[in-house]
Chains A and B, each alone.
Chain A
Amino acid sequence: MDKHAQEWLIPTPSRLKKQLRLRSMPWQMVSGIVLLVCLATVPLALVSRARSKTSTKPRVHLFQDMDNQPKYKTQSPSPIFADGRSMRPPVAGTVARGHLEGDDHYDRGFTMSKEGDAWSVSYFKGFPEQVVVDDALLQRGQERFLIYCSPCHGADGLGNGMVHVRATELKQASNGWTQPTDITTLGDREAGHLYNTIRNGIRTMPGYAAQIPTADRWAIVAYVRALQLSQNATLDDVPADKRDKIQ
């Protein structure tokens, strides 16, 4: 036993106090633990950030389960076909069941006749017999008019819809934009003519056949008739008992 140790073993009061005090942890250990606790909040911060922000990258898909099956769903792409579609367009020259469109009045709104070498088109004046013009049809027509027609023609049909307002704001007349027709002035157009315009378009207006099915086109024609009447109506046209409401 060396001298140094011996000195330690002789308990004087001051030595005893020093010996009994628990020695503190080394600073490396303390700072290591503090660092570990601080670092533990980093993943939490990253997750919170991911949660509050948008991401342009596809979501993390940890558990695939059967989320993405090797099958084609509506409008999904396919590398098999040159145009990249899995939904195939009908073969040219074929007609799908229920899409024959064999009724001139209901499906086309006009007939064509030949005199000599010249073809002439005559539009049907009224509604086809399949179309019953009643309140339900007008309601449907109003709803469809507001969806498909009002962006350009306006809810009142006067040709001042929001798309026209925007096109005017952007000075698009130089690109070919023209103000939509005020359809309340077309009261003398045949119903078949209005129908054909919805289906095939006219001048700069494109056809809406792909967006509006046949029955809805006629509902819109009926509603356009109602707009034409209401926009050119006088107080005398309103039933006597309802005049108070609008006066």
Chain B
Amino acid sequence: MDVTIQGSSQKFVFPAWINYLLPLVLILGAGGAVYVPSLVGYALNPTTLNVGYAPVQPVPFSHALHAGRLGMDCRYCHTTVESAGFAAIPPTQTCMNCHSTIHNDKVTLAPVRDSHATGKPMEWKKIHDLGDYSYFNHSAHINKGVGCVTCHGRVDTMDVVRQAKNLSMSWCIECHRNPEQHLRPRDQITNMTWDAQVDAGQPQLALGLDLKKKYGVHDAAYMTSCSRCHR
């Protein structure tokens, strides 16, 4: 009761509506204790942080045109992907194979022509960037039947390449534990639309287990050992 008697001592008396505030504070406190950590977790999730990075490149090269519409194989440009750890970004000469006589006057291709004339490399921006302590090897994955699309998404539909998967450690491990969910025949590695059921007439799991044996993919204990990726 907020009745104070004038002339009495200056005691503080809680206003009456405090009775409403108490349950409200409890509800807000409990809600906040769930909401705030969830929000922080959601914000710092690798999918939030990593997926969708699509930097502006020095030349607006379209994978949707070259790999999609023209149907060029990934390996026409990324030649080392089957034999080396790093899938090479092509030298300027590879662009000039065609662009010496196609669109050789196009303004947006001027940096390519300059690079070809001066020998100074193009400075493409790296999109898929793992931590420097992980030693990822493209050739090992390609030769064991992991397709490009599994980690890079539908690059053949991207005018501007963006990161499609989060490339977090838990994402890597998920496949290292169950590779059969993702394996495909070696001759379908660069096929962006391959599907086990549609193209091989088998469920992914059955085909994956066959291929795992055929390509000598190791067991989960070996595949999830720290030193597979960290040396």
Contacts and interface: CB of A to CB of B under 8 A. Distances in A.
Nearest to B125: A58
A175 B19 contact: no
B227 interface: no
Contact of A211 (B32, B94, B101): B94
B206 interface: no
Contact of A25 (B5, B21, B162): B21
A218 to B, nearest CB: 17
Contacts of B51: 51
Interface residues of B, number: 65
A197 B71 CA distance: 24
B98 A163 contact: yes
Contacts, number: 151
A164 to B, nearest CB: 10
Contacts of A175: 101-105
Contacts of B105: 175
Interface residues of A, number: 64
Contact of A176 (B53, B104, B162): B104
Contacts of A60: 49
Nearest to B80: A74
B19 to A, nearest CB: 6
A51 B48 CA distance: 5
Given A55-B53, A74-B88, A166-B69, 5 more contacts: A56-B55, A58-B53, A71-B132, A147-B76, A163-B72
17 contacts: A5-B6, A23-B16, A23-B17, A54-B160, A56-B55, A59-B50, A65-B131, A69-B133, A73-B132, A74-B84, A75-B89, A147-B73, A162-B71, A163-B70, A206-B97, A208-B97, A210-B93
